[in-house]
Each structure stands twice: as C-alpha cells, then as structure tokens.
Structure 1
C-alpha cells in the first residue's frame, strides 16, 4: 500500500495495486479501503454524479470492490465483475467506466509481450481507489488523458485498415482484363496452343535448340 500526502493539503491517494508477491503489510486494511470506496459511491449516488437508477450498477460497485485481493491488489476483468454481479459485461464496463469518469478510481492498463504475435498486448487493468476530493481532480484528468490516447490508437488502427482495403480495391480495379474474363472470346487461341509435333531431322532439332529458329 502506498500513501501519498501533499505539502499544501492533507490530500490522500490510496494506491491499491500492491503486487501479489509483496508481503509488506498494508497501512490501510482492506476492510477500511472497501468502506471508503463504498461510502464514496453512496455519496456520488446521492448527489447524482452516479445514476442511481441504472439497472445492475449498484451490484457492480459492490462486487467490484469485493474482488480486491487480501493484499489490496485489484485487477479483475470486466467479465469476472459481470459474472459476480449477474449482469452483462457491457453493464459492468459502463459502471466501472463511470467510476473512473468522476474520479473515484484510477485505471492503469496492464500489458505483456506476446511472443507468438511478436507484439505487446493488453491483458487487464490495475485499479486504484481515490478517497479524497483533492485527488479526484487529478484522477479525472488522468482518466481523460488515458481514454483520449486509447481513442487515438483505435482511430489510427481503423484508418490503417481502411487504407489497406482502399489500396486493395485500387489494385484490383486497375488490373488488366484477361481473355478468360470475357466469355465471348476464345481463350484457346492458336498462339496459346501447343506447337504440333514435327518430323525434323537430327540436325534440324540441334539447330532449333541452339537458335530457337527451326529451319523451314
């Protein structure tokens, strides 16, 4: 557990992503951290920052924090949260995204290098619980920047795919038509047929092989 304090204010940001291999005792117990999170959620529901009538969202919030590990490591998948809350994966994603949008949590993408694909792929998210208003503003800015970066990546990927498709269409469009594509034409032209066997002498065959121009 990491606790950050500001010199100007007594702002507190609780980092809940303690590595699972770490056996360092937490300064804030998991139960206390869960209580702070749920209290912040209830306050956001009362003020309208979080929609209280969204179907399944309250269950998502409760099960989401329950999936925090004993050492306060917290990186459940959307599918796991959805299964625990008995909602769709889309509902779970929307509820968690709303938490980040108002600064109650911070999200950091986790990546791993895939040797089979020879590239870095995203595996899951690390979550942090934000418990003060001062740090919520920072969390909101961080979430906005992260989403903008991910949106730019998606747009770039979509533009690349579109460019490749357009390039493929242009190549096919400019390919010359072949005789086989026109049913009115005889694709078995005389020039494409095998040359008939000729009864040449030995010397004529030698001259044909050497010059490629048989004698008449």
Structure 2
C-alpha cells in the first residue's frame, strides 16, 4: 500500500515565481553573493549554465537573479519587475549562457560582481539544488561548500601550521558550534581560505581578535540567509 502524502510534504519555500529551483534558489544565490561582496553591486556579469542556460528567460531566473542582487527576498513581489528597479537603482548587468558544461551541476550560476564605490570585485559560483536549497561551490577561484542557511565565516589567511585548529579553538571558546568547515589553498604555505558554518553567530569581540592576528588577512561574516 502506497504511503499517503500530507499537505506538509508539498510545501516549498515561500516565493514569487513558478519554480523553487529557478526562482527561490536563484534569489538566494544572489543574496549570498552580495553578502560576500559586502555591498549591493553596481555591475554584474551573470552566467547561466546547462539547464539554466536553456530556461532562465522562460522561468524568470533572469528577473530572480537581478532581484537577489538588489537584496530582495524570494517572496518579494518586486521580483516580477526587477529589471525596472535595477535600472532605477543604477545596477548594470549582462547575461551570458553556457549550455553544455559537463563538469557543472545542471542548475549553476556564476556571478562576477563589482562594488563601484570601493572597487572590490568577487566571483561566486552557486548551484540551485531544488526546494530553494543552494550550495556556494566557489568564491574567487577557491573551492567552497556552504549553503547560506547557517552563519558563515570566510577567512583569508596564510597557510601556517596549526591555523585551522587555532581558529576552531577560538570559535569553540565563544561557545559557538562549528557545523561545517571547508578549507582550500593555492599551495603549500601559500594563501588559504576557510569557509566555516556555525550554528549561531560569533561575537564581534571574537571576530576582532581573529582579525588582528598577523597571519589573518580578512574575515567576511555572513549571517544566515533565512
């Protein structure tokens, strides 16, 4: 006998648009990216890959990504007219598509963003996994693996012995539990980047202490997207 489905099994994220993968997930990738940038971008080059490349216009992913870059939530009604708000807000954007990238997830987006006020640029690659769930899989050429559903630290540091254990210890003394940690580096004793997801926010005094360490170059603190 087949199991009965309840109404709760069919509830997805609260959103504007026809598809959680093509709308809600896309908005969340953009929202994660602007938090990595640290500002709303003034320019964006948006590349859709694989199935996204073939369907982004028809499913509204183009409006969804622009809305997310403006900081709108997945249930914001302004998603439908995001292009108009982008023009009014001075956001310049360009769409590109790559229909056959075999090494990438079917629903992949790459964002190249510029904050004109500071000159800061970031490149973020994200995947929309369905149901509004996303994974950020690369930031500025460093492999990554975080969802945006938890508090996230991005730490740029020298690849010195014991650095990972030391940072984990400092966070633990803040009574903050590390949910996931992903570390990538350019080479041995070269630049490294740590992506740390935590169950609760880290205190500002702890972040200030980590930032003053001689071998730590920068820390980006990203609050949960939810």
TM-score, structure 1 as length reference: 0.28
TM-score, structure 2 as length reference: 0.27
Which of the two has greater helix per residue? 1
Larger Rg: 1
